[in-house]
Amino acid sequence: MSGLPSASSSSAWVDVTIVSAGALNMPGHYILKDAPEDLITIPDYAFLIEHKTLGKKVFFDVGMAKVLLLRT
């Protein structure tokens, strides 16, 4: 199997950086039926996507699921 092709000025390559945007701690039974009362941590991530050739950046925040935020 060959590797990825070399980047060129016409390539659509981007750099992606994961960013920790915090976390939510809640009892396990809020998410899983019959789960223990122990707290579980749900991470929240965002991504910085950079296209170096075009000089453009996009910041994409995954966020928290609405169902998690409404149950607390």
Assess whether pLDDT exceeds 70 at residue 71. no
Beta bridge partners, 5, equal none
Cα(40)–Cα(49) distance, integer angstroms? 29
How confident is the model at residue 50, as a pLDDT? Answer: 94
How confident is the model at residue 65, as a pLDDT? Answer: 66
How confident is the model at residue 68, as a pLDDT? Answer: 55
How confident is the model at residue 43, as a pLDDT? Answer: 86
For residue range 7-66, list pLDDT tens digits in order. 666 667 889 999 988 888 888 887 777 877 888 888 889 999 998 888 999 999 877 766
Cα(21)–Cα(30) distance, integer angstroms? 21
Helix ranges, 1-72 (H): 66-71
